[in-house]
A = this chain, B = another copy of it.
């Protein structure tokens, strides 16, 4: 197997090059809007969702090229959620990946429109995928909509300052974070033409690592420095955000993240080429930012 860090680095480059071609240039009118979309898309993100999409495609016997458009659509959509979540009316975050958030670097109206533009562009990109464009669009729209990511963000805001409770934190994490990670893997499988058995295993893998990823995020928010993380830290607690450690404690959260990762890897073992998915899962729980 390829070394997972080389794998990630290689495909991050392909994703970035493709995003570069997809996004309108900064010099195209309206310039400020196109500067804002590029500012946020090229902010040094980990490209986790595109990488998972490509890896899931390969795990089912497909090629990276088959998944590249879906991978880019996922990153465009993910970036829109970050821009809108950071807005003053939402989480009011000023720092992201070590740089001012979009509404701070530009202005609030531009940030709202930049998010809208990236969300729209994600679906435009999927519509250019031959044969399975509709299926991919359905998968992404359901994961991202008011029964997925948007539901998670709405309940996250509603829960601020409420007593932490297990049902609520799981609902938020599954919708706000895991839903899009699930879509990334299932879309990767669809790009490979995977059958329903493979798709089910990809769904199990990704639901589990999706939740594990958010638990690790919650733990890092408690323990890291702002410099390591590149965003305002300890801000979950400050805002009264509902986190897994706030409900279950730090030790139980660590154990749960390991359990979820184990479940994810067991499901991946049912796929023809599981190695890279398993390696990514391990890296995700061990990460420091």
A interface with B by C-beta (< 8 Å) = 24, 28-30, 32-34, 37, 80, 84, 87, 89-90, 107-110, 112-113, 115-117, 119-121, 123-124, 126-129, 133-135, 137-138, 141-142, 144-147, 150-151, 153-155, 157-158, 171
Docked-complex contact B144 and A84, CB < 8 angstroms: no
Indicate whether A146 sits within 8 Å of B119 (C-beta atoms), given known contacts A112-B84, A138-B124, A158-B30: no
How far apart are A211's CB and chain B's nearest CB, in angstroms? 19
Bound: A129/B37 CA distance, A: 30
Q: Which residues of B contact A129 (CB under 8 A)?
A: 134
Known contacts A32-B158, A117-B145, A133-B133, then 20 further A-B pairs from the complex at CB < 8 Å, ordered by chain A residue: A28-B147, A29-B155, A29-B171, A30-B154, A33-B146, A33-B150, A37-B146, A87-B112, A90-B112, A112-B112, A113-B154, A115-B116, A116-B119, A116-B150, A121-B141, A121-B145, A123-B137, A123-B141, A124-B138, A127-B137
Bound: A113/B207 CA distance, A: 23
Specify which of B30, B34, B89, B127 is in contact with A138 (CB 8 Å cutoff). B127
Indicate whether A109 sits within 8 Å of B89 (C-beta atoms), given known contacts A137-B133, A146-B30: yes
Docked-complex contact A138 and B128, CB < 8 angstroms: yes
List 26 A-B residue pairs with CB atoms under 8 Å apart, sorted by A's residue number.
A24-B146, A29-B151, A30-B146, A30-B151, A30-B154, A30-B155, A32-B154, A80-B116, A84-B112, A87-B109, A89-B109, A90-B112, A109-B157, A112-B112, A116-B116, A116-B119, A120-B141, A121-B146, A123-B141, A124-B142, A124-B145, A127-B135, A127-B138, A127-B141, A128-B138, A133-B137
Please indicate which of the listed interface residues A28, A80, A119 has the most CB atoms of chain B within 10 Å of its own CB.
A119
Indicate whether A120 sits within 8 Å of B137 (C-beta atoms), given known contacts A32-B154, A151-B33, A153-B113: no
Bound: A87/B135 CA distance, A: 33
Q: Which residues of B contact A128 (CB under 8 A)?
A: 134, 138
How far apart are A217's CB and chain B's nearest CB, in angstroms? 21
Q: Which residues of B contact A32 (CB under 8 A)?
A: 154, 158
Q: Which 5 A-B pairs have the closest CB atoms?
A: A124-B141, A89-B108, A127-B137, A117-B146, A30-B154
